[in-house]
Copies of this chain bind each other. A is one copy, B any other.
Amino acid sequence: MPATSSDLVQLAWANLVRTGSTAFQRVEEDLKRLGHPPLSWYDVLWELERAPEGALQQSEVQARILIAQYNFTRLLDRLEKADLIRRVPCKIDGRSNVLHITDTGRALRRGMWPDYDAAIFEHVGRHLQEGEAETLAGLLGKLLPDRGKLPLKTRQSSRGAGT
């Protein structure tokens, strides 16, 4: 059972990695040029902002944005220092924190979105018809089998996308 891939699969692999990282960089570069922070900041803020009270368990957010645990801790350090979120010790579970988005945080995210949206259009939407976008999203979705609903002891890092 060699488990070898066809040329087409290899091409899909190569295009996936190249396109994914290139599109990400181009979008982030556009935002940076406009004075915005990295997309990882946006992702965290967005998860919090759309949560019921603008608050979530730290581990909840971490699981959603796919980042290494030790990097997440430090990302939160920066966000907290910039007064975008607050970490509050959880009263139910003494090990965990509850993250709250601040007004400053909400304002920052709101301010980023129009430029983020425009960048997505420029580097992705512009090149695809609606049907193509749907097909692409569907095929990409097949590649993420969620790895068993993640017991997420995540010791690896990643990049998440926000909407």
Contact = CB atoms under 8 A, between A and B. Distances in A.
A74 interface: no
Given A120-B5, A142-B132, A158 B16 contact: no
Interface residues of A, number: 59
A146 to B, nearest CB: 10
B145 A9 contact: no
A132 B128 contact: no
A49 to B, nearest CB: 16
Give chain A's interface secondary structure class. Answer: helix
Nearest to A158: B21
Contacts of A3: 117-118, 121-122, 126
Interface of A: 2-6, 8-25, 29, 66, 114, 117-118, 120-128, 130, 132-137, 139-145, 156-163
